[in-house]
Amino acid sequence: MATTFKKLIRLPFKMSTKSILILLISVLLSPALMAGGGGGKDTVQALVVTSKPTTSSFDISSLSGKEIIDVIDSLLDLDAVPTDLVKEINAYAESKLLEHDYYVSLTGFYDPSIYPSQSMYQSWDTYNLYPYKESLREDDKEINLVLQDTVNFCNFIPPIKGLITSNFGWRDGRNHNGMDIDLHVWDPVVASFDGMVRISRYHPGYGRVVVIRHYNGLETLYAHLHRLKVEPGDVVEAGQVIGLGGSSGRSTGSHLHFEVRFKGKPLNPRHLIDFNNNCLISDSLKLVKEKWSYQAIPLGIEYHTVKRGEHLYGIAKRYGTTITQLCEMNGIRRNRPLRVGQKLRVGNS
């Protein structure tokens, strides 16, 4: 998508950013548009290959998703693009975007902004790492998020594969809001999900840091980088290099500090990601609002709700696992007291 986006920007006529994104999102991500039918690429190209701007002579709504993509491909090869045809494609693509519910299923509502999840956040700050007010959360109760949808090209890629050197939670007298992953200086660090870069700058504590906002409302943070490879506003795909590993900022050695946040509140990455296998625990996540943050629960995974008087040894024995595995799956310490109502992940499915 990134390559096509750059090509469209260079077309010999003016096209708004909103129109470009509507066109690309509708055509490339909508299941409705990707449905089969119609003729092949050669048939469609014969309709539009011309060096003179002209009006289109066919009904764009009669074409299949593949045929519309072929039309766009053919436009990129022309010396002069038929502006009326592009307007027709844009109008049709916008109408299809309003029909399909892919992004509605990710965010809970339609979001026409060029910024991911803008209707949820109401701001786009390219300097402050956590600019969000508590009022953003006041109406939240339970929120279901789609993390991975391979049908619609929404994938997950681990930011880097390495040894976990520090977990999420209490550390050195304060909260450690992410995971530290070992790496060597110059190792490539990649985006975990598709999204848009919101922050790419030097920070006194985080060093060279990148923050990406994703289409489901999550934000991921990548800190202590040696080099930055993206800028604010860049559209990135899962697996795209965003920086090179290092030890910038307040860091005692080369590693990646990786955070996952929702509306500015930190989530334990272990509640989303199986770091042993470098994959998501589940394709979907439920966020339950708590006083200070959110409880993240992967959907389809077996959990145990802690009752009064229960302890890790008894819970581990009940589910045929070990205290060490329970602590690892839930990112907790064995000597930390359990609280009544706390949910512990006890299985992989």
* 156, part of any domain: yes
pLDDT for the residue numbered 98: 47
> Two tokens at 18?
């909103």
* 259, part of any domain: yes
**253 shares its domain with 321:** no
Last residue of a domain, one of 100, 121, 140: 100
pLDDT for the residue numbered 105: 46
Asked if pLDDT for residue 93 goes beyond 70, the answer is no
Q: Are 135 and 150 in contact (CB under 8 A)?
A: no
pLDDT for the residue numbered 153: 55
Asked if pLDDT for residue 25 goes beyond 90, the answer is no
pLDDT by residue (tens digit) across 261-300? 999 999 999 889 988 889 998 999 999 998 888 988 888 8
pLDDT for the residue numbered 68: 67
**165 shares its domain with 275:** yes
* 130, part of any domain: no
Query: Per-residue pLDDT averaged across 35-58, rounded?
Result: 40
**284 shares its domain with 157:** yes
Asked if pLDDT for residue 27 goes beyond 60, the answer is no
* 211, part of any domain: yes
Looking at the structure of the chain, the number of domains it has is 3
Binned at pLDDT 50, 70 and 90, residue 94 comes out as: low
Question: Among all chains, which residue has been given the structure tokens 């990455």?
Answer: 269
Asked if pLDDT for residue 193 goes beyond 50, the answer is yes
**36 shares its domain with 70:** yes
**156 shares its domain with 59:** no
Asked if pLDDT for residue 47 goes beyond 50, the answer is no
**249 shares its domain with 224:** yes
pLDDT by residue (tens digit) across 158-168? 999 999 998 88
**317 shares its domain with 213:** no
Asked if pLDDT for residue 254 goes beyond 90, the answer is yes
Last residue of a domain, one of 84, 100, 116: 100
pLDDT by residue (tens digit) across 107-151? 445 567 889 999 899 899 999 999 999 999 998 999 999 998 766
Structural domain that includes position 220: 151-290
Better-scored residue on pLDDT, 170 or 261 = 261
pLDDT for the residue numbered 34: 44
pLDDT by residue (tens digit) across 198-241? 999 999 999 999 999 999 999 999 999 999 999 999 999 999 99
Beta strands 169-171; 174-176: pairing state: antiparallel
**254 shares its domain with 340:** no
Return the amino acid letter for 122: Q
pLDDT for the residue numbered 152: 59
* 283, part of any domain: yes
Residue 325: CATH number of its domain: 3.10.350.10
Last residue of a domain, one of 243, 266, 290: 290
> Two tokens at 39?
């003729």
**314 shares its domain with 274:** no
**286 shares its domain with 158:** yes
Burial 23-44 (b: 16+ CB within 10 A, else e): bbbbbbbbeebbeeeeeeeeeb
Best CA proximity match to 199, nearest among 229, 226, 231, 243: 231
**212 shares its domain with 337:** no
Distance CA 333, CA 337 (A): 9
* 336, part of any domain: yes
CA dihedral 161, 167, 171, 177 (to 10 degrees): 80
**277 shares its domain with 156:** yes
Residue 214: CATH number of its domain: 2.70.70.10
Radius of gyration for the chain, computed over Cα atoms and rounded to the nearest angstrom: 23
pLDDT for the residue numbered 66: 64
* pTM for the predicted model, two decimal places: 0.64
* 108, part of any domain: no
Binned at pLDDT 50, 70 and 90, residue 33 comes out as: very low
* 39, part of any domain: yes
